[in-house]
Structure 1
Amino acid sequence: MATSKWSQDVTRHSNALDIDRDVFTRTDPKAIAASLKQSAEASHRRRATPFRSAMSMLTFYINRAGTDLDPGQKRVLESAKDELRKLFDKAGKA
């Protein structure tokens, strides 16, 4: 019997954002950030601002993947945070 992690279910069926399939496996931080930005701005179900929703989903994925996340992919995803800040004009702000 296959078991599913609750975090995987959240990522796939987020009530706030409809994210592109496999967005977190991309290797281009700018593409990840752009996809999350588009999803956050298009969503009418989110409770926070588009920036906070996108950043929260990215951070959630990184934290839930934990030690199972490839170190190289983790660097890509951490860089995507910086790209999100740039896209939302939040450079220098956390």
Structure 2
Amino acid sequence: MPDRKTIEKARRDKREGKSPSTQAGEFIHEEIDKVRRGEHGARSTKQAIAIGLSEARRAGVDLPPPKKGKVKESTRKSAEYAYEVGQGQRTPKHRPKVSRAVSEVLKREPKNTASHEALSRQTKAAASHRTTEERSAAAEKAAETKGASGRSAAARKAAQTKGARGRKQAAEKAAKTRAHHA
């Protein structure tokens, strides 16, 4: 069950005119944090994302289930069910409960599926399935909904990250050079 804070963040995103996938991102962040803390296991990064999307649908985010043929039929049915629950078209038969035994197994699952490297790999793989035009359109919409102060903050963060990365790479290069000449 998602935190009240997560639901509130998603609602704020909706008020700001952000897309349903951005709203769902709040639930995905929460799921990734759970995996990192060891509260929840995921065999893959995709699985962690899928759990977050399902929770978003159940919480009422207007994120329709995938079309037929895009994913496994069982996955699509599950997404459809979660979407209907979130939209108030169906009442869940029972609250999803995870037994203690399953919880213990989940805790033993790997945590590196939510590492920065794994998430980066997943993001790049997902982006490679989209066309340049689609990626460009998404970036333009993001810039619009971010607002002036948001764009400014993002630019500051990018400059800071780039600066830190530049310093790190320079230090690594210097260390290699020293090792090579030694």
TM over 0.5: no
Rg comparison, structure with higher value: 2
- State TM-score, norm by structure 1: 0.33
Q: Which protein has greater RCO, CA pairs closer than 8 Å, 6+ apart?
A: 1
Q: Return the structure number with greater helix share.
A: 2
